Amino acid sequence: MPSVTDYCKTIEKNDENLFLTILMNIWCYGTLLLWTTFGILVFPFVFALCLLFLRWSADKLARWFIWLYGRGWLILMSPFVRFRREQMDQLEEGKPYLFVVNHLSFFDTYCMALLPVHDVSFAVRSWPFRMFWYSGFMRLARYLDVEGSSWDEILSNCRAAFSAGGTVLFFPEGHRSRDGQLQRFYSGGFKAAISTGVPLVPLCIDGTDRLLPPGRKLLRSCHIRLRVLEPIDTSAFAEEDGHLHLRKLVKGRMAEALKEMRNGKDVTEGGANDAGSAT
């Protein structure tokens, strides 16, 4: 891991303002801590009231609260980070989808609050379930533990989420990329989409590796973009090795889209809109 001196040199090299970076870290970590503490303290009362009046299932309500928590994080970060959403109109409201997204940073999950969909069950590895301040909410929201569950359990939970009109999100790389490039894709999400018969939607995120890459603690001002790619009808991949073909197709499309995004190419149709502003 680079020392603080190395880090400062990098910042200077990138013509960034050290004062701004320090201010950003104090603001972002401080408000994140306050926002999380506030959420944990207030959640039980508001959750009980919403259960009573909205009459949603507890897991759906928990996922909505998590999405709202993510939205709050986006607002808190917005003085230092510009968020941009692209091609959100690819998604139809209330339709079940299985999302797959590339993974660059711990904060990728927070950025999923950029999606216009609030009922998202995350498929995650076992370690996030060990973060005691989050695990209760994750279990309440019925997030999928892809390491600690059998394949039948994962599939059954996916079916339950889809039948309730929700969506499921997988990180097909399984872990954060260390160099920003797409890593090897695992098959689970692709098999689940084909088995349950829902459309698969690739998502591409860019910029969170500059915000907070693996192995670093200091946040940096950046632009974050989330692009929705065209949904893929999975019924055409029903043959035995269909998930292998689907996986390759999706990875190719995501690699192409990420290349475009990193070369600064904007979408020409489907629209894009900023969800925050940078300083």
Under the rule (CB under 8 A), what is the footprint of other proteins?
A: 151, 184-188, 191, 240-241, 243-244
Q: How far is the CB of 242 from other proteins (least distance, A)?
A: 10
Question: What single-letter DSSP state applies at residue 277?
Answer: -
Helix, strand, coil shares of the chain, percent, nearest 5, are: 50, 15, 35
Nearer CB in complex with other proteins: 184/217: 184
Residue 9 or residue 184: which is nearer to other proteins going by CB? 184
Give CA–CA dist 263/261, Å, rounded: 5
Toward other proteins, which CB reaches closer, 144 or 228?
A: 144
In whole angstroms, the minimum distance from the beta carbon of 241 to other proteins comes to 5
Cβ atoms of residues 74 and 275 within 8 Å? yes
Q: Which is nearer to other proteins, 191 or 227 (CB)?
A: 191
Q: Taking the complex as a whole, how short is the minimal distance between the CB of residue 79 and other proteins, in angstroms?
A: 40
User: Which CB atom, from 194 or from 275, has the smaller least distance to other proteins?
Assistant: 194
For residue 180, what are the CA distances in angstroms to 3, 102, 118, 193? 21, 9, 27, 26
* 132 SS3 class: helix
**Closest distance to other proteins from the beta carbon of 137 (Å):** 26
Task: Give the list of residues 6+ apart from residue 23 with CB closer than 8 angstroms, or none.
Answer: none
In whole angstroms, the minimum distance from the beta carbon of 151 to other proteins comes to: 7
Q: How many residues does the chain have?
A: 279
